[in-house]
């Protein structure tokens, strides 16, 4: 609704819409024969900034001001680095609760808003979920402007563009889409922008709200979107032609599109030698295979394919399982479930004692279960290998996906043995091949094969580190030619 020229009516409307909130202050300031009113929310505004830069300045100059020049003076001479001219009541309410001070005039249908935000955000801290070994240690915070600055200070280029919009009918949260002009595909930018503009939700609590709103149902369980709290990694993705979504009040950004191989990369890879990076990425790939397949292979061997086990090892297995009343699959499921409980307790436990409790709990429960004859020692080893291998990844979504696929393979192995394991592998590969992220192949650059992008797939070459390649360049050029 458009603002009127009656100051009192505009103020009464704001009071009505805010329920006459106790944290909103209305301060009348008479000048000559007219009055201006300052409106600000104490809880989100800085009282010292308002007093020092607005109220004190107006008090010092009130005797020299003329009423006809009042709006012009406030607009041009009150010191502030961010000033907005407001003509609608919706904008007035938005800026009021966004830490701005509203200045309402007599006989004027415009309101001036000065930014005086209180410092309600945590400072820049070290990355916790994606620990830095050799690279920069700063990470994104809940402060939107700070996050933009973390990208700007790394990419000082005029080609770093971003589109900004407001999402959430109640929260009115800023969402920015960053990309490198001339590197990122324009069609990709427009498609993601359209998806964001079509979001119809009331509240945006974090970047994951936007992620869920623009993502299609994931039947393959594996995540097709990547989130990161490392600003240096986000910049690397931008230089590769990706899009980065930044959400206000969130300490993570979303990288789109995402490839399956991205989950095997680490921000610190770009600060290591190529040979070391190759070794660590191979280890992560093997860790995922161990996490998913180890319990299923063990079950299929013990339940269906005993003849494939060497006789000496088979005798040892038989001795260890002597007296255990439960089948192998039951042992695996029980111990896997207990490990997941310990892992959740470790994550949710307040303070720094969670790791110690989970370690002691795993040792005590494992030893007690073996001595009680509930499970065999080899089962503890198998579950331990699988569970520890799943911890080689920092993405919670990926770890949860591994958990589900591990269960699927256990069920298939218990029903069909090695045939079930092979059938599960075929299903998994088929789903990965058919999956897309923002319309791009999830298994790129392997399928479809992109030779240029192989330089930063498993082997990290210097040319790719110093001159990042757009993974989808070949495909985008094919689309343009067609």
Listing DSSP states for 262-318 in one string gives GGG--GGGGGS-HHHHHHHHHHHHHHHHHHHHHHHHHHHHHHT-GGGS-HHHHHHHH
Model confidence at 409, in pLDDT bands (50, 70, 90)?
very high
Question: ∠185-175-110 over CA atoms, to 5°?
Answer: 120
Confidence of residue 481 (pLDDT cuts 50, 70, 90): very low
The two three-digit tokens of residue 423, written as one number: 């059938």
With H, G, I as helix, E, B as strand and everything else as coil, classify residue 104. strand
Q: How much of the chain, in percent, has pLDDT values that exceed 70?
A: 92
Residues in the chain: 482
Whether residue 372 contacts residue 323, with contact meaning beta carbons closer than 8 Å, is answered with no
Asked if residue 364 has pLDDT above 90, the reply is no
Percent of the chain scored above 90 by pLDDT? 32
Residue range 254-272: mean pLDDT, rounded: 88
For the stretch 95-136, pLDDT in tens is 999 999 999 988 888 899 999 988 877 788 887 778 877 878
Rounded to whole angstroms, the Cα distance separating 78 from 57 reads: 7
Q: Where are the domains of the chain?
A: 7-115, 144-270, 273-441, 452-481
The pLDDT, as a whole number, for residue 273 is 87
Where residue 219 falls among pLDDT bands split at 50, 70, 90? Answer: low
- Helices H / strands E in the chain, number of each: 18, 12
- Average pLDDT for the chain: 85
Q: What is the pLDDT of residue 375?
A: 83
Whether pTM exceeds 0.75 = yes
Please determine, for residue 332, whether its predicted confidence score (pLDDT) is greater than 60.
Answer: yes
pLDDT at 213 over 70: yes
* 252 Cβ neighbours under 8 A, 6+ residues apart: 140, 206, 207, 208, 227, 228, 229
DSSP 139: B
Q: What confidence score (pLDDT) does residue 482 get?
A: 42
Residue 362 clears pLDDT 80, i.e. is over it: no
> Can you give the pLDDT at residue 317?
77
What is the pLDDT confidence band of residue 238, given thresholds at 50, 70 and 90? very high
Taking only the tens place, the pLDDT of each residue in 146-201 is 999 999 999 999 999 999 999 998 889 999 999 999 889 889 999 999 999 999 99
Which candidate, 124, 121, 139, 127, places its Cα nearest to that of 249?
A: 121
Instruction: Report pLDDT for 33.
Output: 78
The answer, yes or no, to whether residue 476 has pLDDT greater than 60, is no
| Predicted local distance difference test score (pLDDT) of residue 244 | 94
Can you tell me the mean pLDDT for 3-27? 90
Q: C-alpha 179: how far from its chain's center? A: 17
What confidence score (pLDDT) does residue 415 get?
Answer: 92
pLDDT at 125: 81
Average confidence (pLDDT) over 437-459: 82
Mean local confidence (pLDDT), 232-247: 92
pLDDT tens track for 284-294: 999 999 999 99
């Amino acid at each position: 609704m458009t603002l009127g020229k009656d100051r009192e009516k505009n103020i009464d409307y704001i009071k009505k819409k805010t329920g006459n909130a106790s944290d909103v202050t209305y301060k009348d300031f008479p000048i000559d024969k007219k009055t201006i009113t300052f409106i600000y929310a104490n809880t989100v505004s800085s009282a010292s900034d308002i007093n020092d830069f607005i109220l004190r300045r107006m008090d010092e100059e009130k005797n020299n001001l003329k009423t006809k020049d009042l709006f012009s003076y406030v607009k041009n001479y009150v010191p502030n680095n961010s000033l907005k001219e407001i003509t609608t009541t919706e904008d007035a309410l938005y800026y009021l609760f966004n830490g701005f001070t509203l200045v309402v005039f007599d006989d004027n249908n415009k309101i001036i808003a000065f930014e005086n935000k209180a410092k309600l955000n945590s400072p820049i801290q070290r990355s916790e979920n994606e620990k830095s070994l050799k690279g920069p240690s700063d990470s994104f915070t809940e402060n939107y402007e700070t996050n933009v600055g973390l990208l700007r200070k790394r990419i000082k280029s005029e080609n770093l563009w971003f589109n900004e919009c407001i999402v959430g009918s109640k929260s009115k949260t800023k969402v920015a889409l960053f990309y490198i002009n001339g590197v990122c595909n324009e069609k990709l930018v427009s498609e993601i922008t359209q998806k964001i503009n079509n979001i119809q939700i009331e509240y945006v609590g974090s970047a994951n709200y936007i992620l869920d709103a623009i993502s299609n149902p994931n039947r393959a369980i594996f995540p097709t979107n990547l989130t990161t709290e490392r600003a240096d990694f986000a910049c690397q993705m931008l230089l590769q032609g990706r899009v980065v979504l930044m959400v206000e009040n969130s300490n993570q950004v979303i990288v789109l599109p995402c490839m399956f191989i991205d989950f095997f990369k680490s921000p610190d890879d770009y600060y290591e030698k190529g040979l070391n990076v190759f070794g660590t990425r191979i280890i992560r790939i093997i860790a995922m295979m161990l996490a998913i397949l180890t319990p299923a292979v063990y079950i299929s061997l013990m339940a269906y394919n005993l003849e494939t086990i060497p006789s000496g090892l088979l005798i040892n297995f038989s001795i260890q399982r002597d007296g255990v009343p439960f089948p192998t699959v039951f042992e695996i499921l029980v111990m896997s479930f207990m490990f997941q409980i310990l892992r959740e307790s470790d994550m949710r436990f307040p303070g720094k004692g969670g790791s110690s409790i989970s370690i002691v709990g795993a040792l005590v429960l494992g030893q007690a279960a073996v001595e009680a004859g509930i499970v065999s020692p080899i089962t503890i080893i198998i579950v331990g290998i699988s569970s520890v291998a799943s911890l080689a990844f920092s993405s919670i979504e990926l770890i949860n996906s591994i958990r589900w696929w591990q269960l699927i393979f256990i069920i298939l192995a218990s029903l069909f043995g090695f045939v079930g394991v092979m059938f599960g592998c075929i299903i998994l590969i088929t789903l990965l091949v058919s999956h897309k992220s923002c319309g791009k192949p999830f298994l790129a650059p392997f399928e479809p094969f992109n030779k240029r992008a192989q330089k930063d797939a498993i082997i990290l070459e210097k040319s790719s580190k110093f001159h990042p390649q757009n993974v989808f360049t070949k495909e985008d050029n094919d689309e343009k030619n067609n």
